[in-house]
Amino acid sequence: MELTTFWFLLITVLWAGYFLLEGFDFGVGILLPFVGRDDRSRRLAINTIGPVWDGNEVWLIVAGGATFAAFPEWYATLFSGFFLPLLLILVSLIVRGVAFEYRGKRDGVTWRKRWDISIFVCSLVPAVLWGVAFGNILRGVPLDARHEYVGGFVNLLNPYALLGGLTTLALFTLHGAVFLALKTDGPMREQSGQIAETMAMVAVPVAAGFLLWTGIAHGDGWGIAVSVLAALTLVAAIPLTRARREGWAFLATAATLVLAVAALFVTLFPDVMPSTLDPANSLTVHNASSTPYTLRVMTWVAVFFTPVVLLYQGWTYWVFRKRLKLSDIPA
């Protein structure tokens, strides 16, 4: 296997891990106003992701760093062309992290309400914009002969990309509801299960529409096959949610997100950013990559450290595997 292909696959894994883990983080934040009838309930919801949310964001940092090191021209074009949406995502992630830490610093009702609103908004915005961003990457953007983005912000707000944003929003919200049902007990578990049922009925047609559009406009054999698997796991989440099999339902929504990311990258390969002006202007794994020596050094680093990180994060989730209930939250 060529090193360029290896790093394309590794970046795919990193984005799949990020969507899988940060996806339920965003979902819990989006659902915070709906499952938290009072401050203790909201604290219960936040505590389900309290030990892991910051670790989940490391996947984004590593994915961005890997893209910068392995495919610098892809990184440069992506961050210059998508500057505004990526800036909004970055600001949202910063404010969201501050909100988690600061909402408990004072006892005032207004103080906590403002931070709760910040958590909701700053979970909602990235959940939509990530879908819009990846929808545009798959659809293609106007790149000139120097591989520079020559469109504007309005070009990114096309129907296909906006449907991608609605898809990630629906999937993350469903994923978060299932996670809350899995991690809590008592009234919140039941309420989260009911929300998951409703969100599953919303997510299925939205995601099916996006996957169908992708298959017709951009799909190849392997991309369509992986998309079908993603659709099947999403449909499987409906009866599992209704039966209150939270563990299996979470595995189903997790598989859906991982397979959806895999389908996107499989469909994209060997391009990393297609050009809508001229296919010759597209960025590929070959013309956007670093030198072979850089890729070799990075590969040895990745081979050593990636299993260590995975083992550590798996251990973290094992330690905090216990369900939480309202009685665990002090008044």
Helices (H), 140-245: 159-183, 187-217, 221-242
Q: Is the pLDDT of residue 37 over 80?
A: no
Q: Is the pLDDT of residue 128 over 90?
A: yes
pTM for the structure as a whole: 0.93
What was the pLDDT predicted at 258? Answer: 94
CA distance 17 to 252: 15
Single-letter code of the amino acid located at 273: M
Model confidence at 1, in pLDDT bands (50, 70, 90)? low
What is the overall mean pLDDT for the chain? 89
In a domain, 330, yes or no: no
> Tokens standing for 299?
């590969």
> Tokens standing for 318?
């094992």
Query: How many structural domains are present in the chain?
Result: 1
Q: Is the pLDDT of residue 36 over 80?
A: no
Greatest mean pLDDT among 135-144, 252-261, 280-289: 252-261
What was the pLDDT predicted at 27? Answer: 94
> Tokens standing for 10?
């590794």
Instruction: Tell me the CATH number at 314.
Output: 1.20.1630.10
Q: Is the pLDDT of residue 51 over 90?
A: no
Domain residues for 54?
A: 3-323
How far from chain centre, in Å, is Cα 163? 15
- Dump the DSSP string for 225-287: HHHHHHHHHHHHHHHHHHTT-HHHHHHHHHHHHHHHHHHHHHHHTTEEE-BSS-GGG-EETTT
What was the pLDDT predicted at 40? Answer: 85
Q: Beta-strand (E) ranges in 8-80?
A: none
In a domain, 272, yes or no: yes
Is residue 266 within 8 A of residue 226, CB to CB? The reply is yes
For the segment 283-305, the average pLDDT, to the nearest whole number, is 88
Q: What percentage of the chain carries pLDDT values higher than 90?
A: 37
- What confidence tens digit (pLDDT) does each residue in 142-153 have? 888 888 888 777
The widest CA-to-CA distance across the chain, in whole angstroms, is 63
In this structure, of 19-23, 219-223, 258-262, the range with the lowest mean pLDDT score is: 219-223
Tell me the CA distances in angstroms from 166 to 15, 80, 124, 191, 226, one per residue in order. Answer: 18, 24, 11, 23, 20
In a domain, 22, yes or no: yes
What was the pLDDT predicted at 103? Answer: 87
In a domain, 329, yes or no: no
- What confidence tens digit (pLDDT) does each residue in 222-276 have? 878 888 898 899 999 889 988 888 889 999 999 999 999 999 999 888 889 998 8
In a domain, 204, yes or no: yes
What was the pLDDT predicted at 79? Answer: 87
CB neighbours of 95 closer than 8 A, spacing ≥ 6? 118, 122
Model confidence at 327, in pLDDT bands (50, 70, 90)? confident
Who wins on pLDDT, 108 or 20? 20
In a domain, 35, yes or no: yes
What was the pLDDT predicted at 13? Answer: 93
CB neighbours of 21 closer than 8 A, spacing ≥ 6? 52, 56, 59
> Tokens standing for 136?
């545009």
In this structure, of 9-23, 149-163, 191-205, the range with the lowest mean pLDDT score is: 149-163
In a domain, 228, yes or no: yes
For the segment 186-215, the average pLDDT, to the nearest whole number, is 89
The residue assigned the tokens 């299960």 is 193
In a domain, 319, yes or no: yes
Per the DSSP assignment, residues forming a β-bridge with 324 are 184
CA distance 164 to 264: 11
CB neighbours of 224 closer than 8 A, spacing ≥ 6? 215
Q: Is the pLDDT of residue 29 over 90?
A: yes
